[in-house]
Amino acid sequence: MSRLNYHHLYYFWQVARQGNLTQTAQKLHISQSALSSQIKQLEESLNVKLFTRQGRKLQLTESGYHALNYANDIFKNGEELEQLLTSGSALPSTPLRIGILSTISRNFIEQFVKPLLSQDDCRFSLQSMSQTGLLNAMNELQLDMALTNIPVRGSNINNWQSRVLARQPVAIIGPPGLALTDELGESYRHRKWIVPYGENPLRAAFNAFAAQYELEPDIVAESDDMAMLRLLTRDIGALAVMPEVVVQDEIASGELKSYMSLPNVYENFYAVTTSRRIVHPKVSTLIRPLDA
């Protein structure tokens, strides 16, 4: 199988963008006949016609339009690669690859990426995965950064740089109109509850308060996914333990109400990066630690 000659493709790309063989030859400092010969060789190797001549102008064929679209991407990526390798920094327009913990609050993610939406030169991707998947992808340089609400632990902890982006107070959320006070006590006893599942720090904090105040909670649902906790809280009508940011839209609309914050209980959101020579320039503009 013949291989694509990128030298010939480059000459095609220049002519296709310029639309004029003579002007392109002058720009590239080669003869018009040599330039024409290069493009002809490309057409012969691909067995397609890339241009038709209309008077003194060259018109792209359908195959030529397809080739131009691919060539635009190829040589744009080439420019980015050259910038990356020679200066040690990626272009701002290079896609930013962000990994997100699959169970993290989508409202928080939306707030985090919001500054990128107004930047015309910025493209980004969001890839959802487990905590282990995030850290493995970071080690394999498949991500530029990761967002999680789980502290980073493990044998390779020195490879990861974890910073607290935000600290959200954890509240008791429920349907409006309940006769609840702004302090834990009698009014919260024997209520139906929706709580985080498993070894979640928020669940541990709730268990401690339930024991301290003898709440005797009737736990009707558990989930380790904040999006699912949001849906359950909205639809079941029980009390829930979560940061307000998870249900900020429902609170704003009056569909749910925040009755109180659990004293000294917070959910931390972390940005995780790795030490590397080449860092995407958008990363430093997005990461703003609490002490910044």
CATH number of the domain within which 261 lies: 3.40.190.290
Distance CA 106, CA 86 (A): 37
Look at residue 271 and tell me whether its pLDDT is greater than 60: yes
- Which tokens is 235 given? 């639809």
Same domain, 198 and 153: no
Same domain, 263 and 279: no
Domain assignment present for residue 66? The answer is: yes
Same domain, 190 and 242: yes
Identity of the amino acid at 63: S
Which of 148, 97, 127 has its CA nearest to residue 268?
148
Q: What is the pLDDT of residues 144-170, one digit of tens each?
A: 899 998 888 765 566 788 889 888 899
What's the domain range around 66?
6-87
pLDDT score, position 239: 94
Boundary residue ending a domain (63, 87, 111)? 87
| Interaxial angle between packed helices 6-18 and 32-46, expressed in degrees from 0 to 180 and rounded to the nearest 10 | 120
- Which tokens is 15 given? 């002519």
Same domain, 16 and 145: no
> What value does the mean pLDDT of the chain take?
85
Same domain, 131 and 47: no
Domain assignment present for residue 292? The answer is: no
Distance CA 245, CA 228 (A): 14
Distance CA 62, CA 165 (A): 49
The arithmetic mean of pLDDT across residues 60-69, rounded, is 90
Boundary residue ending a domain (87, 104, 131)? 87
Identity of the amino acid at 110: E
Paired residues of 240 in beta bridges: 173, 194
pLDDT score, position 258: 95
Which of 228, 260, 270, 230 has its CA nearest to residue 246?
230
Say whether 181 sits in a helix, a strand or coil.
Answer: coil
- Which tokens is 144 given? 């530029």
pLDDT score, position 115: 85
Distance CA 51, CA 59 (A): 5
Pairing state between β 257-274 and 145-148: antiparallel
Q: What is the pLDDT of residues 166-188, one digit of tens each?
A: 888 999 999 999 999 988 889 99
Pairing state between β 57-60 and 51-54: antiparallel
pLDDT score, position 171: 93
Distance CA 14, CA 67 (A): 12
The arithmetic mean of pLDDT across residues 263-281, rounded, is 83
pLDDT score, position 194: 94
Structural domain count of the chain: 3
Same domain, 187 and 161: no
